[in-house]
Structure 1
């Protein structure tokens, strides 16, 4: 790995003060293709920092301690103490269990039904208060240990936990049965569907081609009895109108929109050109009860 790491995007508001990090909240999203983080100023209700790093090659969990150290070399305030710190780790080794059926003593069995054993990982779970479920997942030990070394007060969550809870809070009392949420990543996507204002479906799909992408989407819609003429597909994550997958989606589904930003927050003017749907979960994890 190179001895320097440069952000793909970097916005640092002039109001940000490294000496005041104990008054800020930091949230970070990690996967093996890159990471992004925000810094939020609660007193001003404003996001004052947004940085994103993208890797040319897919990393391994064991690479992340060095990645953090390289970011720290250029930004000493990166590892300063913050009022709160949220780390959203993104992988597809997770399983949702309804809370009435969940026993934390059996968490390894839940994962064993759906996922192969992962060496150098720990099995942990998040409780989704708004949906009445537990999210059990593999968390890489090198990531967990480095996060806790830098930020001892860190709350570590599976990315899908924050995604589902953010959607639940953001669309509270505004959800309808024709809304389907698609969160797109580099090689996979999450589909989340609520019925009767309750979580009904959530799953993650790996894809190699745009045809795979369309096939899985349409198959799930058929499974959920959602009509492509009526469903409203709300997109978030790593996709925009210039993406090759977008016209393919639009070819089959009549109503396609990007998820609206949360107007309850303020954002640095430097972020005016940022497509907020790309960082929806990262921005909105702060309002979740986690």
Structure 2
């Protein structure tokens, strides 16, 4: 990010978007002049029972990866975890952030809690970021902005549901969990995140949620994206039980030369560049 002493001659016209979870680091490098993404990258983190070990692995990877040590005009860090909750603006009070998480997240008095405003949708995403990682990244990049990855995810899905009065279900698939977003014409009906080990776990959560929302598997639209292809087990089992299933690729910008695979896998990174 530019400091107050930077001039236009110092600008590199590149932006880094860095997404961090406890299982993977992913990133993209965006050319702000050409408005194109030059590089995507993913790095699976070693499994560890210690959160401290994971944090150390994350920072070591960033410091030891030359492309991530470039000079960037802007750095955005996305925290990808389930320590969050969407709260309608009508019920939101910044003085009581912890109360919005206490029913689905174990909250400690020492936790730092913040929120993202979801612009145009009168709601906020209240969440716990990885504070120690943020502090370490200050040494790497000086200053940066950070958000929750699901803030980007939900806002873009809502944007793309405009003028569609039929309920739609979007499923963003990751390695061992998925985010389920149900929408209707830019209204968020439900957001939840589920951990799963088998394709049977996946379809159970999907159909159970549809039942609770009174959505008929014979009629509602199911859009799948993230770490998924038509050959994936979870795509195949969804196709077996839900009539209208497709990969969510309608919004690919062909001029930006983004492949279908990259768009599906890097949906959040791509739209964080906007």
Q: What's the TM-score bracket when you normalise by the shorter of the two chains? A: 0.7 to 0.9
- The verdict on how the C-alpha distance between 1:35 and 1:120 changes in structure 2, with shifts beyond 3 A counting, is farther
Match of 2:179 among 184, 190, 194: 190
1:25 match: 15
Give me the whole-angstrom Cα distance separating, in 2, the residues matched to 1:243 and 1:21.
42
CA distance in structure 2 between the aligned counterparts of 1:264 and 1:274, rounded to whole angstroms: 13
SS at structure 1 position matched to 2:162: coil
**Structure 1 contact 121–139 (Cα < 8 Å) conserved:** no
Residue ranges of structure 1 left out of the alignment (5+ in a row): 1-18
Equivalent of residue 117 in structure 1, options 107, 112, 119? 107
Alpha-carbon distance, 1:262 to partner = 2.9
Aligned to 2:35: 45
Cα drift, residue 127 of structure 1: 0.9
Q: CA RMSD in A?
A: 2.4
Please tell me whether the aligned partners of residues 123 and 138 of structure 1 are also in contact (alpha carbons under 8 angstroms): yes
1:130 aligns with 2:125: no
Query: For the residues of structure 1 that align with 2:195 and 2:108, how far apart are their CA atoms?
Result: 18
Q: CA deviation at 1:147?
A: 2.6
Which of 236, 255, 258 is the aligned partner of 2:225? 236
Contact kept in structure 2, 1:37 and 1:51, CA below 8 Å: yes
**How far is 1:74 from its partner?**
3.6
Report what 2:191 is aligned to.
202
Alignment check: 8 A CA contact 1:39 1:50 kept? yes
- Scaled by the length of structure 2, the TM-score of the pair is 0.87
1:139 pairs with 2:129: yes
Structure 1: how far apart are the matches of 2:59 and 2:193?
27
Shift of 1:243: 2.0
What is the aligned residue count? 264
Partner of 2:64: 73
How far residue 69 of structure 1 moved from its aligned partner, in angstroms, is 2.9
Name the structure 2 match of 1:277: 264
TM score, norm. by length of structure 1: 0.82
In the alignment, structure 1 residue 91 sits paired with structure 2 residue 81: yes
How far is the alpha carbon of 1:274 from its aligned partner?
3.8
Match of 2:154 in 1: 164
